[in-house]
Amino acid sequence: MRKTIKILGSLLFLLLVFVYLNFFSSFIFPWQEKDAIQTTLNWGGLAELPKEAENLTVEKEGSAFTRTFIVKFNANQKEIENWILNSKRLKNNKPKVSGETKSYEVHPGENESFGGKVSVEKGLVTIRMSWS
């Protein structure tokens, strides 16, 4: 009986850790990364990432009721310009310029999302899109 309680307790603990990581932490499981990127692009009305994108990172924030994805990548200026021109919500969107940073506001987002912001600074693109 004690062994069964220990096993059930261990399984419950592992389940709670998995639920926490999946719904409440910024950690993205490897099998979720592709979907997170595609969701971010869909919410922002953005083109597929440039083929030459480097240093790709994906983070998430929020809870089970709200979600924000942050996608970052590096690319050369020409690739970034082409990506902006191919993105339906950026190509006619005038950026706010502050120093070397260009920021594009996307509000509301696509597919009933809240939207967000795309920032470009010295070859680093940061996409931040939210849903609530």
Position 111 in a domain? yes
What would the pLDDT profile of 4-56 be if each residue is shown by its tens digit? 888 888 888 888 877 776 666 666 778 889 999 999 999 999 999 999 999 99
What would the pLDDT profile of 62-113 be if each residue is shown by its tens digit? 877 889 999 999 999 999 999 999 999 999 999 999 999 999 999 999 999 9
Position 18 in a domain? no
Q: What total number of domains does the chain contain?
A: 1
Position 61 in a domain? yes
Position 86 in a domain? yes
What residue type is assigned to position 86 of the chain?
A: N
How far is it, in rounded angstroms, from Cα 113 to Cα 119?
Answer: 18
Position 68 in a domain? yes
Number of C-beta neighbours around residue 68 at 10 A: 19
- Domain range for 56 is 26-131
Please state, in angstroms and as integers, the Cα–Cα distance from residue 10 to each residue in 2, 3, 17, 31, 39, following that order: 12, 11, 11, 24, 34
**Residue 123 pLDDT > 70:** yes
